[in-house]
Amino acid sequence: MSTALWAKIQASVGVTADGIPGNITAQAVAKRLGIDKETPRPTPSVPATIDPRSAANIATLLPYAQSKAREWLLKCLEAGINVKIITGTRSYKEQDALYAQGRTAPGRKVTNARAGYSWHNFGVAWDFVVFDANGQPQWESPLMEKCGKIAESLGHEWGGRWTSPQDTPHVTVKMGCTLADARQRVKEGKWWT
Ligand SMILES: [Zn+2]
């Protein structure tokens, strides 16, 4: 490119027209073209993904509760909480076996609910726990409460509000009926039809 042409370009962008383009000329041209500012790159958003353990437990829930569980879990993950769903539905038989524990079977008592007296038996409840960076469950973490409050914000019942006993890891999707109603509907084969 000729010196004369560079001089013309320099003059038009308001720098010394010596015909020898350097950094100053380059910057002035870039400014004129509107490319002098570094374009901020959008922060790549890492899509929150549901881990296999949670996914397997979610799959045991009623379809309606499945979508609620996914929605809740993604909200917790997006809040930066490493939480997993560790329990989903329990059959009546499984509930009775759990109830026997610490009563007629070895182990410590883990539930006061017999078969049909836990929302886990109706596919609308799950339990969760927060994990630390080393993959250790953190039952006492304040993030447990945060997850519970997220559940409440979505209209669900959080076991952290219960008193006898308090059940911080527990969430129930409200179904607008009592456990007695649910038991009756199961008996009639009409639960969630
Ligand atoms: Zn539970």
CA of 158 to the centre of ligand 1 (A): 9
Residue 4 has φ and ψ, to the nearest 5°, of -65, -40
| Same domain membership, residue 62 and residue 13 | no
Q: Which residues contact 26 (CB under 8 A, 6 or more apart)?
A: none
- Per the domain annotation, does 40 fall within a domain? no
Predicted confidence (pLDDT) per residue in 62-113, tens digit? 999 999 999 999 999 999 999 999 999 999 999 999 999 999 999 999 899 9
- Per the domain annotation, does 129 fall within a domain? yes
pLDDT band at 14 (very low <50, low <70, confident <90, very high): very high
| Same domain membership, residue 120 and residue 75 | yes
* Rounded to 5°, angle at Cα 29 from 32 and 22: 160
Domain with 138 in it: 52-187
| Same domain membership, residue 105 and residue 61 | yes
Q: How many CB atoms lie within 10 A of CB 10?
A: 21
CA of 126 to the centre of ligand 1 (A): 5
What CATH number does the domain containing 144 carry? 3.30.1380.10
